[in-house]
Amino acid sequence: MKIVVKSVDEEDRFRISVWIPLVFLKSRMLWRLMSRDKDVDLLGMRETVDCIYSGLRRFVKRNGHFYLACVQSSDGTRVSIKI
């Protein structure tokens, strides 16, 4: 997963690219952070995330990468999430 933030403003021109492996959804560190919140049903969420993860892997393998979201604000800042 790649998250890109771009600004086209002449004064604040910046670009941030963050690469997050898709397997991070299954990492223990993420699940430990989420387990601190008592209102979260981790068992049900874990099964759902495993299903989504395997579905995304199959889709990317068959069809290639795709944009999950592409948003542009009124000041020209663009954010895109590519899986």
C-beta of residue 34 within 8 angstroms of C-beta of residue 40? yes
pLDDT of residue 45: 79
Helix (H, G, I), strand (E, B) or coil at 69: strand
What is the sign of the dihedral through the CA atoms of 23, 55, 67 and 81?
negative
**Per-residue confidence of the chain (83 residues) as pLDDT tens digits?**
888 888 877 677 788 888 888 788 778 787 777 777 767 677 777 788 888 888 988 998 999 999 988 998 888 888 898 88
pLDDT of residue 58: 92
Residue ranges per structural domain of the chain: 2-82
C-beta of residue 31 within 8 angstroms of C-beta of residue 46? yes
Name residue 53's amino acid: Y
